[in-house]
Every structure is written in structure tokens, then in C-alpha cells.
């Protein structure tokens, strides 16, 4: 990395010494000013929340027999952090931080997922694949009834502020813990259960009553956060949230932050689904009386993809009688799975949070669920026989019903799924190592298991992947295809790191799937890649010895392929009718 010009450093220091620290990561003065402004707003929000909480605690009435829940929620004697207050942006471009702040990793000089996380007390590591069975645990906040009850209990007051682009700020710092001998409980929309805040009645000396005291607290928080940022900690990690479409996604360390490239193709596939499902007789969804479109989000992480798809197919505006979204006769069901319990917990918090913010339709509480299932172990259960494929369907259908697999009377074990979408780990070990293509800040702050595909220890059933012909970075793509085949998916969307990886994934899928389509009497699948600029290229459906050369010649070195998309059955026919040729 080139050294900063001394004149630039002097200019930054003359304006604000904190700008000099931010230049280490921003590399230019306008970006440093933007980040400083966002961090200042965040610090003011933290202090404002603390001050407001102190004053409210001081004003609690001392009346025997009065339930203090009438003022601050319900009560008990635990302590928690003030991490549920957000500040809203009222102006500025929605994703300005994504454009101005270089917080991305690259492969081959092209960006691959902008990453950012927020600190948390504990980071749960990804569990290993089980040898004999797929791990599936019922999550503590799994049922729709519990979600609805949780939403009714959300009583945390929001502080409205004007901010440039990061619309909501999650406050999650040790300094924000306020204790009191008179217990009160604030319901949190983010936690598995009810997070409780114990407040003691403060003395007059504890309250922030002067502008000088408030300014000192703001500066203390600001200085600390600027120090973190200057060491490479991603901005969204410090702020604690990230816009994703119309949603506000809570971000915590240990789970990858949503990227703008992921947002782009998720919105694209959501719009295409909306068009296909609103076309009469275009897609077969079963009997007219119970038409349902079922979506699997594998490696769900924060749950951002599953939640954004729901917001597109059933927008919150539909609650007020809008004609947007799917027609009344079609319902949706979305299951997000991840092998990290911590990711599943965060995805569940994001579901509750976005419903409480009215960014998701209330039906999302019952339409969307998240469960702890290992994708690689699940794929290992599958095979070419009907019995093996049935086992995969059984596991997934039990997961979405939140029941044990043996309770077959309580769910439909053989039900199929219509679509699979996934953003799996896809960085090779060499690209991740120091001196490779992955930025140092990514290696320092992000969970490696979410970036680099790894084998579970003791696994002996993946001889295919031990072959030198399979690139380790592509480890997840064959399992994704096996699961898609087992559940009867008509649409498969897989994120890739760059055009080179897209070529490998397309070639593998072409070799192992197209040849069987005509034998089964099904329409020929439609294979596409979607680029970062929104364009689409159609991959030929006939084998060719010049496939690699042809693919490379059609690749724009300045625009990366971002997703490999496979349309099958009636959805392949619909896609051919709507897009007969590649975009320019």
C-alpha cells in the first residue's frame, strides 16, 4: 500500500486530528470526513440513549403495588446492554458507505462481498459435520407464536436522528450498561428470549445534565471508535448494522455482513420470481386451493437473503391493501439454514427486528424460519436413489416444521422445494493466506469458516472432493446441486467469487446435469451467469471442447460474474420465453 503524502496528513491534522487516524484506512480526505461524521452521529446516539434512560429511571414513581411495567416494560433482576436503540437516516444515498468506504476483499482485483461485523461478547465457532446424522436443533425462538408474542413486547424507544447513509445504529457497548436496584425489564427485538435491563435509581450526580458532560462522553466514545476503525475494523462492525434492500440487518462479529453484490442479485431474483408467479399457469405450484412457493436459503448467515426475498414477494405495504406482491392465492415459505448456531440466532433476531420496524410484512413471522443444519452433512445424505433423496427432503421438511424427523404425522416428509439460493464459502486457502488475494482486515476480523470451505474432521465420504480435479474453493457447489436435485428445485442461485470460478461451476454443472435432462423427459435446463453490472449471459447447453476458451472470451475483465443461475422444468421454459438471448 503506498504511503500517504505528507501534505495530505498535515491537511487532515489541521482540520481534525481524528481525520489523520481515519486516513490509514480511508486513504483520501473526503472518505475520512464521511466516516468521521457517521462515527460522530453514532457517539451522539449512544450518549443520548444513556441520558434518556437515566432520566426515565429517575422519574419512576415510588408507589407500593404499582407495576413498573406500565412505564418501561416488565421487570426482573438481570442486567443487559442498551443494544436495541436505532437512529434513522433521513437523507443521503442509502448505500453511500458501501461506495465511499473501501471495506471489501478482492479476488483477481475485483471485489467479492463487502464484509463488516459488529463486536459481541462471544463468537460461537462453526460446528463440525456429524458423521452419522445431520445436526438439526430447534432454535429457541423458532415458533411463529413466540415471534408474535415477542413483537408485542418490543417497547424500546427509538431515537430519531438525521444521519448521512447508515440509517440505523445499533448501540452495543459496555459503557451503555446502566444498573439500578429497582429492576426493570426492556424487551429486546434482537434476543432469543427476553433481554432485561436492570436500572438503579440514579442520584442527581449520575445524570448527564450539562452540555459539557455530554460532549465529553461523546468525545470519549468517538475517540475509542476512531481508534478501532484506524486499525482496520470495518465501519459497519463498529456501527452495528447494514442496509440490505429495504431492510436493516443487524451485524455482529462471527457472521458475515451482507454485501451490495449479494443484495443486487437477490433483488433481481426476487423481481423475476414475482413476475413468474403472477403469470397465470407459468409455474405449477400444485392444487389451486393450496398453492405455495417454497424457498431454501442455504448458508443463510444473517438471514438477509431470506428476509429480502420475503419483503419483495410479500412487501410490508401489502398490509395496507396494496396490490404489490404475490396474488392472494399464493403463499410462500422460506427456510434458512446454517451450520453456525450463532448465525441462526442472529438471523432470527433480524427477522424479529425488521418486523418490529415494519420493514417486513407481519406474516414473515410464520412464513420465514431459521434452523441449525449442516449443508455438507445434509448433502452427504443424498444420492441418486429415491430413498437417499427422500432423506434430504425429510430432514428439511422436519426443520421447517420445527419438529423431530420421526414425527411424520406433524409434517409432510416428502414435500418438494421450488427454489434454492445460497451464498456459500468460496475463497480458496491460498487466496486467504497472507500474501494472497484476501485483505488483512478480512483475515483479522471475519470468521474464516464463513469464507473458506473446509472439510469436517473424520469425514471419509467425500472422495470426490479429495480429487485434484476439484478446486477446494468450489467445495460447496456440488453439494448444493445434489440438494437441489433431491428436493426437486426448479431454480438454483449460487453466488461465486469471480468469473473464473463461475466458469468452473458452469462447466461442472453442464457435464453432470445436462446429459440427464433429456433422459428424464424434462425440459433442457437453462444455465446463466449474472454479472455485477446486472447483465446476464446465457451459457451454451451443448458440450464443446472450447468451452473454457469461449467463456473467457465472453468475460469482461472489468465486470465480474457474481452468480450462477440454473432454471429447470417449467421455470426453464418461462425463462426462455422472457429472455431468449443474453443481455448486451
pLDDT tens-digit readout, 380-413: 887 778 888 999 999 999 999 999 988 888 899 9
Instruction: Look at residue 524 and tell me if it is in a domain.
Output: no
425: left (phi over 0), alpha (psi -120 to 50) or beta: beta
pLDDT digit string (tens) for 221-233? 999 999 999 998 8
Average pLDDT of the residues in 4-14: 93
- Domain end among 445, 466, 495: 495
Query: Is residue 356 located within the same domain as residue 224?
Result: no
String of DSSP letters for 181-220: SEE-B---SSSSS----EE----GGGS--SHHHHHHHHHH
- CATH number of the domain where residue 322 is located: 3.40.50.150
CB 127: neighbour CB atoms within 10 A?
Answer: 17
Output the pLDDT for position 121: 35
Task: Characterize 541-566 residue by residue with b for buried, 16 or more Cβ atoms within 10 angstroms of its Cβ, and e for exposed.
Answer: eeeeeebeeebeeebeeeebbbbbbb
Are 222 and 64 in contact, with CB atoms under 8 Å apart? no
What is the domain extent for residue 42? Answer: 6-52+213-231
Query: Is residue 441 located within the same domain as residue 335?
Result: yes
Query: Is residue 249 located within the same domain as residue 223?
Result: no
- Domain end among 495, 527, 552: 495
Query: Is residue 219 located within the same domain as residue 327?
Result: no
Output the pLDDT for position 235: 86
Instruction: Look at residue 169 and tell me if it is in a domain.
Output: no
Are 113 and 255 in contact, with CB atoms under 8 Å apart? no
Instruction: Look at residue 375 and tell me if it is in a domain.
Output: yes
Interatomic CA distance for residues 356 and 151, integer angstroms: 6
Instruction: Look at residue 34 and tell me if it is in a domain.
Output: yes
Which residues, including other chains, have CB under 8 Å from residue 231's CB and lie 6 or more apart?
none
Whole-prediction pTM: 0.74
Instruction: Look at residue 506 and tell me if it is in a domain.
Output: no
Query: Is residue 369 located within the same domain as residue 482?
Result: yes
Give percent of the chain above pLDDT 70: 66
Are 295 and 309 in contact, with CB atoms under 8 Å apart? yes
Which residues, including other chains, have CB under 8 Å from residue 354's CB and lie 6 or more apart?
247, 248, 249, 307, 311, 360, 364
Interatomic CA distance for residues 454 and 450, integer angstroms: 10
pLDDT digit string (tens) for 46-69? 999 888 887 777 776 654 443 433
Instruction: Look at residue 79 and tell me if it is in a domain.
Output: no
- Work out the mean pLDDT of the chain and round it to a whole number: 76
Question: Which is higher by pLDDT, 160 or 445?
Answer: 445
- The secondary structure of the chain in percent helix, strand, coil, rounded to multiples of 5, reads 40, 10, 45
Query: Is residue 270 located within the same domain as residue 225?
Result: no
C-alpha atoms less than 13 angstroms from C-alpha of 580 in its C-beta half-sphere: 1
Query: Is residue 223 located within the same domain as residue 358?
Result: no
Output the pLDDT for position 439: 84
Roughly how many angstroms between the first and final C-alpha of the chain, as a whole number?
Answer: 36
Instruction: Look at residue 171 and tell me if it is in a domain.
Output: no
Are 299 and 494 in contact, with CB atoms under 8 Å apart? no
Interatomic CA distance for residues 188 and 166, integer angstroms: 21
Name the helix (H) or strand (E) containing 419: strand 419-422
User: How many structural domains does the chain have?
Assistant: 2
Interatomic CA distance for residues 294 and 269, integer angstroms: 14
406: left (phi over 0), alpha (psi -120 to 50) or beta: alpha
Query: Is residue 219 located within the same domain as residue 366?
Result: no
Query: Is residue 329 located within the same domain as residue 223?
Result: no
Instruction: Look at residue 501 and tell me if it is in a domain.
Output: no
- Domain end among 495, 525, 547: 495
- Range name among 140-144, 420-424, 508-512 with the lowest pLDDT average: 140-144
Query: Is residue 227 located within the same domain as residue 272?
Result: no
CB 519: neighbour CB atoms within 10 A?
Answer: 7
Query: Is residue 221 located within the same domain as residue 340?
Result: no
pLDDT at 482 over 80: yes
pLDDT digit string (tens) for 102-133? 334 434 433 444 433 333 333 333 333 343 44
Query: Is residue 315 located within the same domain as residue 359?
Result: yes
Amino acid at each position: 500500500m503506498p504511503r500517504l503524502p505528507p501534505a495530505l496528513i498535515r491537511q487532515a491534522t489541521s482540520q481534525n486530528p481524528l481525520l489523520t487516524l481515519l486516513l490509514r484506512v480511508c486513504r483520501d480526505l473526503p472518505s475520512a470526513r464521511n466516516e468521521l461524521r457517521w462515527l460522530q452521529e453514532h457517539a451522539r446516539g449512544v450518549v443520548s440513549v444513556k441520558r434518556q434512560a437515566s432520566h426515565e429511571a429517575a422519574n419512576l414513581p415510588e408507589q407500593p403495588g404499582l407495576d413498573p411495567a406500565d412505564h418501561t416494560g416488565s421487570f426482573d433482576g438481570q442486567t443487559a446492554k442498551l443494544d436495541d436503540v436505532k437512529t434513522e437516516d433521513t437523507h443521503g444515498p442509502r448505500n453511500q458507505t458501501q461506495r465511499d468506504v473501501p471495506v471489501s476483499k478482492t479476488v483477481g482485483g475485483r471485489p467479492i462481498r463487502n464484509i463488516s461485523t459488529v463486536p459481541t461478547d462471544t463468537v460461537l465457532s462453526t460446528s463440525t459435520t456429524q458423521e452419522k446424522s445431520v445436526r438439526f436443533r430447534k432454535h429457541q425462538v423458532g415458533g411463529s407464536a413466540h415471534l408474535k408474542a415477542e413483537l408485542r413486547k418490543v417497547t424500546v424507544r427509538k431515537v430519531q436522528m438525521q444521519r448521512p447513509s447508515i440509517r440505523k445504529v445499533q448501540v452495543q457497548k459496555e459503557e451503555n450498561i446502566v444498573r439500578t436496584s429497582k429492576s426493570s425489564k426492556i424487551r429486546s427485538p434482537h434476543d432469543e428470549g427476553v433481554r432485561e435491563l436492570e436500572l438503579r435509581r440514579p442520584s442527581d450526580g449520575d445524570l448527564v445534565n450539562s452540555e459539557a458532560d455530554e460532549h465529553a462522553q461523546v468525545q470519549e466514545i468517538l475517540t475509542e471508535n476512531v481508534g478501532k476503525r484506524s486499525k482496520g475494523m470495518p465501519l459497519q462492525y463498529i456501527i452495528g448494522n447494514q442496509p440490505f434492500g429495504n431492510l436493516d440487518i443487524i451485524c455482529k462479529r462471527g457472521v458475515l455482513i451482507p454485501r451490495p453484490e449479494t443484495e443486487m442479485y437477490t433483488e433481481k431474483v426476487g423481481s423475476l420470481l414475482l413476475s413468474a408467479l403472477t403469470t397465470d399457469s407459468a409455474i405449477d405450484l400444485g392444487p389451486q386451493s393450496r398453492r405455495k412457493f417454497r424457498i431454501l436459503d442455504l448458508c443463510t448467515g444473517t438471514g438477509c437473503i431470506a428476509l429480502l426475498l420475503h419483503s419483495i414477494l410479500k412487501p410490508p405495504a401489502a398490509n395496507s391493501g396494496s396490490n404489490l406482491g404475490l396474488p392472494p392465492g399464493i403463499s410462500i415459505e422460506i427456510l434458512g439454514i446454517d451450520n453456525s448456531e450463532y448465525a441462526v440466532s442472529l438471523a432470527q433476531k433480524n427477522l424479529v427486528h425488521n418486523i418490529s420496524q415494519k420493514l417486513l410484512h407481519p406474516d414473515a413471522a410464520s412464513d420465514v424460519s431459521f434452523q441449525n443444519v449442516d449443508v455438507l452433512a445434509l448433502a452427504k445424505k443424498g444420492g441418486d436413489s429415491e430413498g437417499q433423496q427422500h432423506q434430504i427432503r425429510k430432514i428439511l421438511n422436519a426443520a421447517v416444521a420445527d419438529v423431530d424427523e420421526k414425527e411424520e404425522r406433524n409434517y409432510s416428509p416428502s414435500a418438494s422445494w421450488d427454489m434454492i439460493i445460497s451464498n456459500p464459502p468460496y475463497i480458496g486457502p491460498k487466496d486467504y493466506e497472507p500474501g494472497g488475494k484476501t485483505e488483512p482486515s478480512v483475515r483479522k476480523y471475519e470468521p474464516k469458516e464463513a469464507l473458506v470451505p473446509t472439510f469436517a474432521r473424520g469425514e471419509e465420504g467425500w472422495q470426490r472432493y479429495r480429487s485434484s480435479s476439484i478446486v477446494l474453493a468450489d467445495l460447496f457447489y456440488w453439494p448444493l446441486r445434489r440438494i437441489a436435485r433431491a428436493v426437486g428445485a426448479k431454480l438454483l442461485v449460487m453466488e461465486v467469487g469471480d468469473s473464473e470460478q463461475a466458469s468452473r461451476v458452469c462447466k461442472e454443472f453442464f457435464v453432470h446435469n445436462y446429459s440427464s435432462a433429456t433422459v428424464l423427459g424434462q425440459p433442457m435446463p437453462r444455465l446463466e451467469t449474472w454479472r455485477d453490472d446486472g447483465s446476464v449471459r446465457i451459457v451454451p447447453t451443448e458440450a464443446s471442447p472450447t468451452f473454457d476458451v469461449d467463456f473467457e472470451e465472453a468475460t469482461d475483465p472489468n465486470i465480474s460474474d457474481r452468480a450462477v443461475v440454473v432454471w429447470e422444468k417449467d421455470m426453464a421454459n418461462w425463462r426462455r420465453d422472457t429472455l431468449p438471448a443474453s443481455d448486451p
